[in-house]
Chain A
Amino acid sequence: MLEEIIIAGFGGQGVMSMGQLIAYAGMLEGKGVSWLPSYGPEQRGGTANCAVVVSDEPVGSPLVTNPSTAIVLNNPSFEKFEPLVRPGGILMINSSLVTRASNRSDIEIIELTATDMAADLGNAKVANMILLGAFIELTKVVSCDSIIESLKKVLSEEKHHLIEVNKQALNKGLSLVKTA
């Protein structure tokens, strides 16, 4: 198994932490993982993105040019990464904010109104977790349990009350692609 993932959105949408959670969960499962952030000046106001590699082997290149999955949370990220998803790969779109539609037929396209659904859950910030839930259900890269375990380790004690809403968001995303 070799998953090369790019997650992109505005700074503040939680794209970096999504990537870290996948990497952390992969590490807990004994897999080879790497997490590489974009750290250019584009993070201010533009898109931020990170590349995550999860593999059964030790990770070679941490750099991802043609992702097996791209998760895009806003329009600029869609523009940038939609063309780069490798044939047969997955493009996950936060269609609450992304207004463009992909006309690629060689990839699987998942559109979720993640920001709206997160607001319905009472916290718009967990849109990333809805997408993450759907992503792990689709690809089985890491288990939901490992993600929750990682959340406990990544979040500081005083933020542990947020674990519940994050769990709900994960499960929401998971159920959406299960029934689809």
Chain B
Amino acid sequence: MGKVLMKGNEVIAEAAVQAGCKYFFGYPITPQSELVAYMARRLPEVGGLFLQAESEIAAINMVYGAAGTGVRVMTSSSSPGFSLKQEGISYLVGSELPAVVVNIVRGGPGLGNIQPAQSDYFQVTKGGGHGDYNIPVLAPASLQEIVELTNEAFDIADRYRTPVILMGDGMLGQMMEPVEFGERTHSELPEKNWATTGTRGDGPRRIITSLELNAQSLETRNAALQKKFARIKENEVRYETYQTDDADYIMVAFGTVARITMNAISKARQEGIKVGLIRPISLWPFPEKPFLETRDVVKGYISVEMSAGQMVEDVRLAVNGHAEVDFYGRTGGVVPTQEEIYQKILSVAGGSRYEHENSF
């Protein structure tokens, strides 16, 4: 097929279709509406079904119904609409149903605006809905990575019977880059012997529910869920490091912000400041390993986010007091520039050098 120039939102949709997603229930909202529009046109071509629901709440519950039959299904939204889906997402977790939910984050809180943001980090990584749960969250930084991670998201969902969140920001959704849809990797996945497609009298009844009125039974069920989350933490951590080997300071950033940060790192390196980057690709499970490997060697970390400081809390947990953790963030849809990030590097790295020079 070769390279094509597409918008991020369209890439998510096409990658989902190629991953075998034939059902989409959604409701348009900027900055992810192109995804919905693409699905409306594309799914009928592959014998699938696109349905624009009357609301985000309806859409996520339709996803619940479709997922119960064992098909690959997806919904997508942006921050306020994603908030509306939380009840349904909690039900998906409680009923152990696989689905992919996309959040192309915009500025908040409230109605906010339509500009890029990462301020739903807490919501996606710490639960979001009610009850004790975590959901795997994948955060691509480029359109090519969207292709790979969308496919992965569906596989992870099927492997663990869990909803998976694909999180980007308005910039990732709106931008165009060349992408190539190569051969899809097929991983071995468990048979969906739980799907409610009718037993035809040849087996026991299959019931999908998150209701469990007996407290002891619900605790047992929670214990099983926690075990599953532990398995996910063990197996599904994804991250990338960049120039961390000799780094005095390590930046931490995900998604598009990681790319802007990489430009700032190049500039800092030209000035002789040794800076590297840890880019979490799975936001949950959060990659602790690259921090354990570096926290006794580096002078400090700087988390850069389009939020008032959310991922930085996970960075602090992973560093656990072994090194300084600093933060730079912009909010409300403002995207940090490479110059601002570079200045932050200077103030942290240059600052301590200055102190060192003056300690004589």
Chain A residues close to B by CB (< 8 Å): 20, 23-24, 27, 33-37, 39-41, 59-63, 65-66
Interface string of B212-234 (1 = CB under 8 A from A): 00000000000000000000000
In the complex, which residues of chain A have a beta carbon less than 8 angstroms from the beta carbon of B296?
Answer: none
Do B260 and A63 touch across chains, with their CB atoms under 8 A apart?
yes
Chain A's closest residue to B256 (CB) is A62
Chain A's closest residue to B340 (CB) is A65
Chain A's closest residue to B176 (CB) is A35
Which of A37, A40, A59, A60 has the most chain B CB within a 10 Å cutoff? A60
Do A61 and B338 touch across chains, with their CB atoms under 8 A apart?
yes
CB of B205 closer than 8 Å to a CB of A = no
Q: Is the interface of B mostly helix, strand, loop or mixed?
A: mixed
Chain B residues close to A by CB (< 8 Å): 3, 5, 30-31, 113-115, 170-171, 174-178, 256, 259-260, 262-263, 266, 335, 337-339
In the complex, which residues of chain A have a beta carbon less than 8 angstroms from the beta carbon of B337?
Answer: 63, 65
Whether A60 contacts B263 in the complex (CB less than 8 A), given A24-B5, A27-B3, A65-B338, comes out as yes
Name B171's contact: one of A27, A33, A60, A62 (CB within 8 Å).
A62
What is the CA–CA distance of A60 and B335 in the complex, to the nearest angstrom? 15
What is the CA–CA distance of A20 and B31 in the complex, to the nearest angstrom? 19
Do B259 and A60 touch across chains, with their CB atoms under 8 A apart?
yes
Do B175 and A34 touch across chains, with their CB atoms under 8 A apart?
yes
Q: Given A24-B5, A39-B114, 14 other A-B contacts at CB below 8 A?
A: A27-B178, A33-B177, A35-B5, A36-B171, A36-B176, A37-B175, A39-B30, A39-B31, A40-B114, A41-B114, A61-B262, A62-B177, A62-B256, A63-B338
Whether A60 contacts B262 in the complex (CB less than 8 A), given A27-B5, A39-B114, A65-B338, comes out as yes
Name A37's contact: one of B3, B113, B174, B178 (CB within 8 Å).
B174
Chain B's closest residue to A37 (CB) is B174
Chain A's closest residue to B261 (CB) is A61
What is the CA–CA distance of A20 and B176 in the complex, to the nearest angstrom? 8
Name B176's contact: one of A23, A60, A66 (CB within 8 Å).
A23
What is the CA–CA distance of A65 and B342 in the complex, to the nearest angstrom? 13
Identify the 6 closest CB pairs spanning chains A and B, nearest first: A35-B176, A61-B260, A36-B175, A60-B263, A27-B178, A65-B337
In the complex, which residues of chain B have a beta carbon less than 8 angstroms from the beta carbon of A23?
Answer: 5, 176
In the complex, which residues of chain B have a beta carbon less than 8 angstroms from the beta carbon of A61?
Answer: 256, 259-260, 262-263, 338
What is the CA–CA distance of A41 and B30 in the complex, to the nearest angstrom? 11
In the complex, which residues of chain B have a beta carbon less than 8 angstroms from the beta carbon of A63?
Answer: 171, 256, 260, 335, 337-338
In the complex, which residues of chain B have a beta carbon less than 8 angstroms from the beta carbon of A35?
Answer: 5, 175-177
Chain A's closest residue to B260 (CB) is A61
In the complex, which residues of chain B have a beta carbon less than 8 angstroms from the beta carbon of A34?
Answer: 175-177
What is the CA–CA distance of A35 and B170 in the complex, to the nearest angstrom? 13
Nearest CB of B to A60, in Å:
4
Do A39 and B176 touch across chains, with their CB atoms under 8 A apart?
no
Chain B's closest residue to A27 (CB) is B178
What is the CA–CA distance of A34 and B30 in the complex, to the nearest angstrom? 20
In the complex, which residues of chain A have a beta carbon less than 8 angstroms from the beta carbon of B335?
Answer: 63
What is the CA–CA distance of A68 and B117 in the complex, to the nearest angstrom? 26
What is the CA–CA distance of A40 and B266 in the complex, to the nearest angstrom? 30
What is the CA–CA distance of A61 and B177 in the complex, to the nearest angstrom? 12
What is the CA–CA distance of A27 and B338 in the complex, to the nearest angstrom? 24
What is the CA–CA distance of A40 and B3 in the complex, to the nearest angstrom? 28
Nearest CB of B to A35, in Å:
4
Nearest CB of A to B9, in Å:
11
What is the CA–CA distance of A29 and B330 in the complex, to the nearest angstrom? 36
The 9 listed contacts between A and B (C-beta, < 8 Å) are A34-B177, A35-B5, A36-B176, A39-B31, A59-B259, A61-B260, A62-B171, A62-B177, A63-B335
Do A40 and B177 touch across chains, with their CB atoms under 8 A apart?
no
In the complex, which residues of chain A have a beta carbon less than 8 angstroms from the beta carbon of B5?
Answer: 20, 23-24, 27, 33, 35
Chain A's closest residue to B333 (CB) is A40
In the complex, which residues of chain B have a beta carbon less than 8 angstroms from the beta carbon of A41?
Answer: 114
In the complex, which residues of chain A have a beta carbon less than 8 angstroms from the beta carbon of B177?
Answer: 33-35, 59, 62
